[in-house]
Structure 1
Amino acid sequence: MIVNALELDFFRNYTHLEASFDPRVNLIYGDNAQGKTNLLEAVAYLSAARSHRARYDREMIMMGIDSAFLKGEVASRDRVFTLEAKLFRGRGRQLFSNGVRLKTAGELAGILTTVLFCPEDLYLIREGSSARRRFLDGAICQLRPRYSQALAEYNRLYDHKTRILRDWPENPSLLQTLDDFNLRLAQTGAILIHYRAHFIRRMEKHAPAIHADFSGGRERLELSYETVSTVTDPMAQPREILPQLLAHQESHRQAELDARQCLSGPHKDDLVVSIGGQLAKTYASQGQTRTAVLSLKLAQREIFQEETGEWPVLLLDDVLSELDSKRQAFVLNRIRGGQVFITCCEEEKLEGLEGGRVFHIRDGSIVTNI
């Protein structure tokens, strides 16, 4: 998959941008806060209509402006796609593929897949479970339209149920709708668990091998899936998981009413990472943590390649400068093939890259490109 060109209007700090890219390596450099990360965020947004650093689309619209526009020309599946996103402050968004408006973000799945590696990811292991859920959600949404739709619906239902549990003592009639929300949450939650379990199983085939290469065979990486305790087989079909989720909800019903918050469901899931039999979150060194995260991201890239037959677009946001020379070399050797975008603060920081184009970004504009 190749991003041939990108056009932005009023996206973050870009008043207007038009750029074409090399199918191999694109090195983007400049001082901090000039727009390097914003450029990679735009590419990633066109792949799944999700941002790794904005909860709401309006956060990506330039201050004082009512709307933003993103357009990418993408070579994928032996075709050329024109992907467009129109973001409106307070009025949602519109997504298009080749001029046809999409009903859901899930319809973007498989057109443009991206793997983003940013400095925040170096803390993926040590952060709470929500960071690892975001990693799983971002990856699976690009591959499975059904998952993307179920995740959006689950989040919507979860927000409604949260308000019911928060407000029911002041408005007891709200409890009349609780059973309906519980059923629909369990139905969508069963889909999430099913797809998460299968994706983690595929991760187990790739990440430990990459980690072993990284560590010279000295360390063993292990992954496991932690979900609702009543679910006996997360890889089962959603219809088999559903009654198990309903049973868990019922057992926690009074506790939820007392706590006035949602305590049951896959919104508490976790991807558990261990190194040498010890929980990485608690016991891994800084070097081990970075190696584990790199292994997860590179495993995601290989899964995407298996799934689509094409390498996903790899987005490395100022991350190689955070790594020692050994880890830099490992990553650069692993990313041969496919299109890569790499940002850094100084052009000369990265060596060992051959071919491609170099862009200098300043204040939301490309001032030079080679």
Structure 2
Amino acid sequence: MHVTHLSLADFRSYSRAEVALDPGVTSFVGPNGQGKTNLVEAVGYLATLGSHRASSDAPLVRMGAERAVVRAAVRQGDRQQLVELELNPGRANRARINRSSQVRPRDVLGIVRTVLFAPEDLALVKGDPGERRRFLDELVTARTPRMAGVRADYDRVLKQRNTLLKSAAMARRHGGRSMDMSTLDVWDQHLATVGAELLAQRLDLVAALEPLVDKAYEQVAPGGGPVVLEYRSGAGAGSREELFGQLLAALGEVRKQEIERGVTLVGPHRDDLLLTLGGLPAKGYASHGESWSLALALRLASYDLLRAEGNEPVLVLDDVFAELDSRRRERLAELVAPGEQVLVTAAVAEDVPAALAGARFAVAAGEVTRV
């Protein structure tokens, strides 16, 4: 799978941009702040419905514009599709496939698949659990696009349950009449049902990913492993039915504390992925270089997993070579050079390794020019 054309309207710094893309390696080169990352961010948005740099859509719309449009022509084998997303901050986003059919935004998931490595990925190792949960959930959705609906359902149920718990906590603190908790029983069932599905997918992903991460780390930083991934959950493991029962039981055990605090204390939104390197937790023990290599290994393993499952993603390397020493830089370039489509951003041409020679665009003052 590869993107053959990218079109932007009022996205980030671009009032308009039209970029024809080829398979193989394409580099976007230019000084910082000129819009290189905005281009690959747009491709990533089509794949995930989110940005690796912003938590909401508002910053993605050019200052003074009401909406932004990201459109891409995508080729997979002999099939070509046109996918379009219209970003409307404060209102519902809109999506179209092949111009004529208007669909829900999440229905476009799976048409474009990406694996993106960026400086922000250091947070996968050094950051809080939310960064690692997001990593898992985006990869779960890339493998199985219908999981976008499951994630949305879980978020909706969690919000409703938290609202009920908060009301119960407020009533208790102010000496009001105790609330009827039968409604909470219903939300427990909903949370355990959807949570078990999400949890099962995460556990399956971690099992498939672990050997690939260990292999990728050895390729990038020989002799520095092994790497072990451990999914830490308030529930446990097993079939979906077993996970449902475990989540339901765990919710029952903490109900008193939840009512006191007004928040849901058990579920996939509280879980974490423990990364162990050389027998020690990577967070707090790994050096800066080791953390970089482990973050890179997580992304390379994601790329290998999706490729092995039959739909090779676009690999995006956003301003990462300047952060790597020469040895890691060359190893990374050799590993990814055979990819069907690799998009690279760099401040100077010298940061792009020779192994990644290919098409090159100069990016400056909002202009994207092939050189």
Please confirm whether the aligned pair reaches a TM-score higher than 0.5, indicating the same fold: yes
Indicate the SS of the match to 2:160: helix
Mapped contact 1:76–1:112 kept (Cα < 8 A): no
Aligned-partner Cα distance in 1 for 2:180–2:315: 47
Mapped contact 2:228–2:277 kept (Cα < 8 A): yes
Aligned to 2:312: 311
Name the amino acid aligned to 1:303: L
Matched, 1:186 2:192: yes
Aligned to 1:97: 97
Aligned to 2:276: 274
Mapped contact 2:28–2:36 kept (Cα < 8 A): yes
Mapped contact 1:6–1:71 kept (Cα < 8 A): yes
Aligned to 1:333: 334
Indicate how the Cα distance of structure 1 residues 96 and 206 shifts in structure 2: closer, same or farther if over 3 A, else same.
Answer: same
Give unmatched runs, 5+ long, in structure 1. none
Name the amino acid aligned to 2:211: K
Aligned to 1:157: 157
Mapped contact 1:13–1:363 kept (Cα < 8 A): no
Could you say what the CA RMSD is over the residues aligned between the two structures, in angstroms? 1.8
Matched, 1:140 2:140: yes
With 137-146 and 294-303 compared, the bigger mean Cα shift is at: 137-146
- Of the three residues 227, 236, 253, the one matched with 1:221 is 227
Q: CA deviation at 1:217?
A: 3.3
Aligned to 1:30: 30
Aligned-partner Cα distance in 1 for 2:79–2:170: 57
Matched, 1:120 2:126: no
Indicate the SS of the match to 2:125: coil
What percentage of residue pairs aligned between the two structures are identical? 34
Map Cα deviations across residues 282-334 of structure 1 (whole Å, 9 max, x no partner): 211112111111111100000010112x4310111111110000110111011
Map Cα deviations across residues 29-76 of structure 1 (whole Å, 9 max, x no partner): 222222111111100111132222222223311222221111000112
Q: CA deviation at 1:86?
A: 0.9
Mapped contact 1:226–1:271 kept (Cα < 8 A): yes
Mapped contact 1:62–1:68 kept (Cα < 8 A): yes
With 283-292 and 299-308 compared, the bigger mean Cα shift is at: 283-292
Aligned-partner Cα distance in 1 for 2:45–2:224: 38
Aligned-partner Cα distance in 2 for 1:74–1:293: 28
With 287-296 and 175-184 compared, the bigger mean Cα shift is at: 175-184
Name the amino acid aligned to 1:44: G
TM-score scaled to structure 2, two decimals?
Answer: 0.92
Aligned residues: 363
Indicate the SS of the match to 1:17: strand
Name the amino acid aligned to 2:353: E
- Of the three residues 190, 211, 216, the one matched with 1:210 is 216
Indicate the SS of the match to 2:80: strand
Aligned-partner Cα distance in 1 for 2:266–2:67: 38
Mapped contact 1:69–1:85 kept (Cα < 8 A): yes
Aligned-partner Cα distance in 2 for 1:77–1:154: 35
1:1-370 correspondence runs (5 A): 1-99=1-99, 100-103=101-104, 105=106, 107-170=107-170, 177-228=183-234, 230-233=235-238, 236=239, 238-308=240-310, 310-337=311-338, 338-366=340-368, 368-370=369-371
Mapped contact 1:72–1:82 kept (Cα < 8 A): yes
Indicate how the Cα distance of structure 1 residues 225 and 14 shifts in structure 2: closer, same or farther if over 3 A, else same.
Answer: same
TM-score scaled to structure 1, two decimals?
Answer: 0.93
Aligned-partner Cα distance in 2 for 1:328–1:348: 12
Aligned-partner Cα distance in 2 for 1:299–1:250: 37
Q: CA deviation at 1:176?
A: 5.6
Q: CA deviation at 1:335?
A: 0.3
